[in-house]
Amino acid sequence: ATFELGLLFIGWNELVLQPLHNLFMGDTKEQRILRHVLQHAVAGDPQSVLEAIDTYCSQKEWAMNVGDKKGQILDAVVREQRPSVLLELGAYCGYSAVRMARLLEPGARLITIELNPDFAAITQQMLDFAGLQDRVTILTGASQDTIPELKKKHDVDTLDMVFLDHWKDRYLPDTLLLEECGLLRKGTVLLADNVICPGTPEFLAYVRGNNRFECTHFPSYLEYSKRVDGLEKVVYKGPGSPTQP
> Is 241 annotated as a binding-site member?
no
> Is 165 annotated as a binding-site member?
yes
Instruction: Write down how long the chain is.
Output: 245
68, 174, 223, 229: the active-site residue: 223
29, 70, 168, 233: the active-site residue: 168
Kindly report the number of other CB atoms within 10 A of residue 153's CB atom.
10
> Is 141 annotated as a binding-site member?
yes
HSE-CB at 107 with a 13 A cutoff on CA atoms is 2
88, 193, 229, 232: the active-site residue: 193
Give the closest residue to 235 by CA, choosing from 170, 174, 177, 188.
188
65 a catalytic residue: no
> Is 143 annotated as a binding-site member?
yes
**Strand ranges of the sheet holding 184-192, from the earlier edge strand across to the other edge:** 136-140, 109-114, 85-89, 159-164, 184-192, 228-236, 213-221
> Is 234 annotated as a binding-site member?
no
> Is 134 annotated as a binding-site member?
no
165 a catalytic residue: yes
194 a catalytic residue: yes
13, 194, 229, 233: the active-site residue: 194
30, 88, 165, 232: the active-site residue: 165
> Is 223 annotated as a binding-site member?
yes
> Is 142 annotated as a binding-site member?
yes
Q: Which residues are catalytic?
A: 165, 168, 193-194, 223
- Which residues are annotated as part of the binding site for substrate? 168, 194, 223
- Which residues are annotated as part of the binding site for S-adenosyl-L-methionine? 66, 96, 114, 141-144, 165
- Which residues are annotated as part of the binding site? 66, 96, 114, 141-144, 165, 168, 193-194, 223
